[in-house]
C-alpha cells in the first residue's frame, strides 16, 4: 500500500510550514517603525533563504528521480520553483528597503508591503508543498524504492551547512508528532554517530513540552534512551 511508503517531504515540510506560520504571526505583531523590528526582518530573510535552498535541493536530488518518467511534471514543478524565487526576490528587495529607510513612516509603509508580500509567499508555498505531497510524491513512489528516496534525503542532509541543518531540525522537532519523532530519533541512533544522537535527544528535551518529551522517551526502545 502506498500509504505505508516513505514520505520524503514530510519532516522538512512540517518544519517549513511551522516556520511560515510563526513568521507570519511575528510580522502581524511587529511595529516596523521600531529598531527591534530588525528581529522580524532577519526572520523573513531566514525564511526566504531556507525556501530557496529547499527548492534547490528538490531540483537537484528529487526531481531527477522522476525526470525520465514524467518530464511534464518535472517542468511544472520547476516552473513553480521559478515563481517561488520571484516571490523570494521581492521579499529580499523589501527587506533591503526597510534597512535603508530613513524615517519611521517609510519603515511603516515598507512593513505593510512586507506583510502583503509575505502572505503571498505563504499562500504559494503552502499550495506548492501540498501539490508535492499530493502529486509528485506518488510519482516518486511509482518509480522508486523507499531505499532510493532515503538515499536522496541523506544526500540532501549531507549537503546542508551544519548550522542551517540545526535550525531546520529544531523547526521539525517542534512540528512533528510524537510517533514521527520517535522514528526520527531511532533512525539517527542507528545511522549516525553517538554524539549526533545525543544532540538530537537533547534537542527533543529542549523543544518539546515536558509531557510530550516523556511520551517520546517512553516510546523509544530502552537501549535508545541512554544518551
User: Is residue 70 domain-shared with residue 122, that is, in the same domain?
Assistant: yes
User: Is residue 146 domain-shared with residue 187, that is, in the same domain?
Assistant: no
CA torsion 171-163-43-36 (nearest 10°) is: 120
pTM: predicted TM-score of the whole model, two decimal places: 0.94
CATH code, domain carrying 148: 1.20.120.520
User: Is residue 152 domain-shared with residue 188, that is, in the same domain?
Assistant: no
CB contact set of 61 (below 8 Å; sequence gap of 6+): 152, 153, 155, 156
User: Does residue 13 form part of some domain?
Assistant: yes
CA distances 185 to 60, 158, 194, 204, Å, are 26, 17, 11, 9
Looking at the 3D structure of the chain, how many domains does it have? 2
User: Is residue 24 domain-shared with residue 132, that is, in the same domain?
Assistant: yes
User: Is residue 147 domain-shared with residue 212, that is, in the same domain?
Assistant: no
Domain extent, residue 72, equals 7-160
Give the model's pLDDT for residue 221: 79
Residue 122 has, within 13 A of its CA and on its CB side, a CA count of 17
Would you say the C-alpha torsion 167, 172, 174, 179 has a positive or negative sign?
Answer: negative
Quick: pLDDT tens for 155-190: 999 999 999 999 999 999 999 999 999 999 999 999
- Express the helix, strand and coil content of the chain in percent, nearest 5 each: 85, 0, 15
User: Does residue 1 form part of some domain?
Assistant: no
Q: How far apart are CA 19 and CA 171, in angstroms?
A: 7
Give the model's pLDDT for residue 184: 97
User: Does residue 166 form part of some domain?
Assistant: no
User: Is residue 111 domain-shared with residue 16, that is, in the same domain?
Assistant: yes
CB contact set of 217 (below 8 Å; sequence gap of 6+): 225
Task: Give 106-118 as a DSSP string.
Answer: HHHHHHHHHHHHH
User: Is residue 134 domain-shared with residue 22, that is, in the same domain?
Assistant: yes
Quick: pLDDT tens for 38-72: 999 999 999 999 999 999 999 999 999 999 999 99
Choosing from 102, 133, 160, the residue where a domain stops is 160
Amino acid at each position: 500500500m502506498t500509504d505505508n511508503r516513505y514520505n520524503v517531504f514530510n519532516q522538512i515540510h512540517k518544519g517549513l510550514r511551522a516556520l511560515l506560520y510563526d513568521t507570519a504571526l511575528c510580522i502581524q505583531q511587529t511595529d516596523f517603525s521600531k529598531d527591534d523590528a530588525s528581529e522580524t526582518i532577519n526572520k523573513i530573510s531566514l525564511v526566504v533563504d531556507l525556501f530557496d535552498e529547499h527548492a534547490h535541493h528538490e531540483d537537484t536530488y528529487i526531481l531527477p528521480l522522476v525526470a525520465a518518467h514524467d518530464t511534464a511534471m518535472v517542468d511544472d514543478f520547476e516552473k513553480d520553483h521559478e515563481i517561488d524565487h520571484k516571490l523570494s526576490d521581492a521579499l529580499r528587495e523589501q527587506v533591503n528597503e526597510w534597512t535603508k529607510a530613513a524615517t519611521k513612516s517609510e519603515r511603516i509603509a515598507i512593513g505593510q508591503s512586507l506583510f502583503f508580500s509575505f502572505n503571498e509567499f505563504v499562500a504559494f508555498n503552502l499550495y506548492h508543498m501540498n501539490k508535492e505531497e499530493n502529486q509528485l510524491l506518488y510519482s516518486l513512489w511509482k518509480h522508486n524504492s523507499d531505499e532510493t528516496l532515503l538515499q536522496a534525503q541523506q544526500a540532501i542532509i549531507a549537503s546542508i551547512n551544519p548550522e542551517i541543518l540545526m535550525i531546520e531540525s529544531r523547526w521539525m522537532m517542534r512540528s512533528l508528532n510524537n510517533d514521527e519523532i520517535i522514528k526520527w530519533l531511532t533512525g539517527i541512533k542507528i545511522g549516525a554517530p553517538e554524539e549526533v544522537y545525543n544532540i538530537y535527544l537533547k534537542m527533543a528535551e529542549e523543544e518539546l513540552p515536558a509531557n510530550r518529551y516523556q511520551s517520546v522517551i517512553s516510546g523509544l526502545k530502552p537501549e535508545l534512551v541512554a544518551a
